[in-house]
Amino acid sequence: MGAPGDPPEGTPEGGPAGGEDEYRSVVFDESFVRAARLQEFSAQERMADHAPAVRRRPPLRRGLSRQVLILVLLIAVAFGTAIYMGVRHPYQTSALRQPVEPLRMTVIPLAPEGRVPGHADAEYLYAHSPAAQYRVGAKGIPLPASRRTEHFSDSQVVSALTTAKDYIVRSSLDPDVLAGGQVRAVRVLLDTDQLDQFDQSFAHPAADGRHAPTGWLVRFDPAEARLADGQIRVQGSLQAAETDSSTLEVTADHTFVYALRAAAAGASSEVSLFTVRRELQFRFDRDDLRMHTAQLVVSYVQAGPLSCAEDSTNRLHPLLAGQTAKAGGPAGTDPYATGSATALCGSLATSAQPKV
């Protein structure tokens, strides 16, 4: 008996048994049918048009899908933008930047009217001086609340203020700098176009308003004076403003009060106070903001007690407890000579000294 589904007359001779033909394993799914190059007309189409039984279908388009093309296009645009930004970085303005001005500096020694007051305890002197309420160290140089300007963001304004503060701290509070030693910590914060002037100032100091080391930083003659207390008192302010679309300016005005004693062995152990007021003007272009450097363009310094007869160009020579100012003063200056600065010397008010 034949298997179910076999023809009544049985399996054709030579055919596979059980009705299994060689095409039974082929699956004619929808994708297979749609991919066929020949398509059979319906019976109605063949009756109406007397058309052939089949028609040839247009070949399928095997190109990339629209989504893939859009993705490739977006990747190409992003890659091109990255290359463009790498070639033209928004901060690469060196070729167009304005020349950096040299630092203009003025250092005015303040001579005491009598003997310099002293005491065995630095804290006692601070408590009985105008610096009694001053803060200690970098805490006396707080950053102001910053606001963006028309052409500079909040972060850029903060960067300028922070760099200015770093310069002030390193040039006024660093013990190694104060002792007349290293200057590199200050130098690295300067715009590269000012480094020649900075180096020239220390290699060949001059009272010309351009090359005085004491215009760049505070330092004492280590053979004469040393810090008696590392708790330096500070008070002042920082302000930032935009001068044009490519420049930020920071002005700083701070007063520093140092407790000093004689460096020589066998000298008086009494402590005296030494005051330095520094008014600095910094300038920043976009390169400076990126590199964490500054252009120091104005330095106005008043320091005392000093003797006007001493040269304060290279190092400060403080008058210590019990000392008085030497007679005499700076040599006469010709105001018609354009190559030199006018020498100045002031008087240190009694009210600026501690009451002992």
Q: 259-317: per-residue pLDDT in tens?
A: 999 998 777 789 999 999 999 999 999 999 999 999 999 999 999 999 998 999 999 99
Query: Would you state the pLDDT for residue 44?
Result: 65
Q: Where are the alpha helices (DSSP H) in 144-226?
A: 154-172, 175-178, 184-187, 195-203, 213-216
18: CB partners within 8 A, 6+ apart:
3, 6, 11
Q: For each of the chain's 356 residues, which pLDDT tens digit applies?
A: 555 555 555 555 555 555 555 555 555 556 655 655 556 666 666 666 555 665 666 655 555 577 777 888 888 888 877 776 654 544 444 446 678 999 999 999 999 989 999 999 999 999 999 999 999 999 999 999 878 999 999 999 999 999 999 999 999 999 999 998 889 999 999 999 999 999 999 999 999 999 999 999 999 999 999 999 999 999 999 999 999 989 999 999 999 999 999 998 777 789 999 999 999 999 999 999 999 999 999 999 999 999 998 999 999 999 999 999 887 665 555 555 555 455 588 889 888 889 87
Q: Of 131, 158, 140, which is closest to residue 352 (Cα–Cα)?
A: 131
Cα–Cα dist 324/114, whole Å: 6
User: Within 10 Å of residue 225's Cβ, how many Cβ atoms?
Assistant: 26
Cα–Cα dist 133/235, whole Å: 9
Three-class secondary structure of residue 60 per DSSP: coil
Cα–Cα dist 201/216, whole Å: 9
Contact 106, 330 (CB under 8 A): no
Provide the strand spans (E) within the chain. Answer: 38-40, 54-56, 104-112, 135-136, 225-244, 247-262, 272-284, 295-304, 346-348
Amino acid code (one letter) for 27: V
Cα–Cα dist 100/192, whole Å: 9
State pTM to two decimals: 0.72
**317-344 confidence digits (pLDDT tens):** 999 999 998 876 655 555 555 554 555 8
Cα–Cα dist 208/195, whole Å: 17
105: CB partners within 8 A, 6+ apart:
209, 210, 212, 215, 216, 298, 299, 300, 301
What does the DSSP 8-state code read for residue 276?
E
Query: Would you state the pLDDT for residue 345?
Result: 87
Which tokens is 175 given?
């013990």
Cα–Cα dist 133/17, whole Å: 112
Which tokens is 77 given?
């645009």
Query: Would you state the pLDDT for residue 144?
Result: 92
